[in-house]
Amino acid sequence: MQSGPDPMAEAHGRYGVERWVGDGATSCEDTVAEEMPIALVYNGFSHAVMMATPQDLEDFALGFSLSEGIAECAREIYDIDVVEHAQGSEVRIRLAGERFAGLREKRRAMAGRTGCGLCGIESLEQMARRSAGVVGRVGAVEAGALQRAQSELHARQQLFQLTGAVHGAAWCRSDGAVELVREDVGRHNALDKLIGAIAGQRKAFDDGFVLMTSRASYEIVQKAAAVGIGVVAAVSAPTGMAVRVAQASGVTLIGFARGERHSVYSHPERVH
């Protein structure tokens, strides 16, 4: 039986390497994760160029649009088309007219200003307003579910197993069963891809939790809160700002989720 095309073919490549062990070297090939410029173009206007793994780009575009507040729901994204170029990929997004008008107005307001470099935010006050979203009521998570989710995520990280160079983001049920996994060289990109996959499959954002194979940064918590995800677990440490944003926005933030151990930094009442 002839196997079909590799769905991850564009996400990795083979490169020659001289591998040393002790005092000896061997020439061989190694599998390396790819990253390339991905241009996000809304209604014909370029909005951002991100360095990302060229995989699940439709999910990436939808998730980015939701987590950055460009669209409030998936229905406001009418079409997503990926166009490949020699130097990268262009993702063409057809956005509802009212939302696109708001995006254009925001870009005009930013023109000529000196930004702080934080996802297009040009002032500390705007950052505070953006972080002020509050997550509503979400279900509880069983403590044992974190261990199950870690095991299942590791087994489903296909690109990581090939390259060792990407982050994973998993959407898990309250009992720890992993329903969706997305991977990328950037942890924020992996989460955006996951958010897009959840929205694309019309799953409820308040009916599960996210597990990240990375540290928990401010942006991770902010993106989760923006779409209503109430529980975020990470295998590594959180930052102080991530903890403060989680406390203020109602997100249960879990760090150092490794085996049977984990630390709950905010809203521990959701972990039983």
Bridge partners of 136, per DSSP, are none
Beta-sheet strand order (sheet of 77-85): 45-52, 36-42, 88-95, 77-85
Helix (H) or strand (E) holding 119: none
Contacts of 199 (CB under 8 A, 6+ apart): 62, 63, 66, 73, 74, 205, 227
Q: How far apart, in whole angstroms, are the C-alpha atoms of residue 41 and residue 82?
A: 10
Catalytic residue among 28, 73, 116, 119: 116
What is the rounded radius of gyration, in angstroms, for the C-alpha atoms of the chain? 19
Residue 105, φ and ψ in degrees, nearest 5: -65, -40
Q: Judge whether 116 counts as a catalytic residue.
A: yes
Catalytic residue ranges:
116
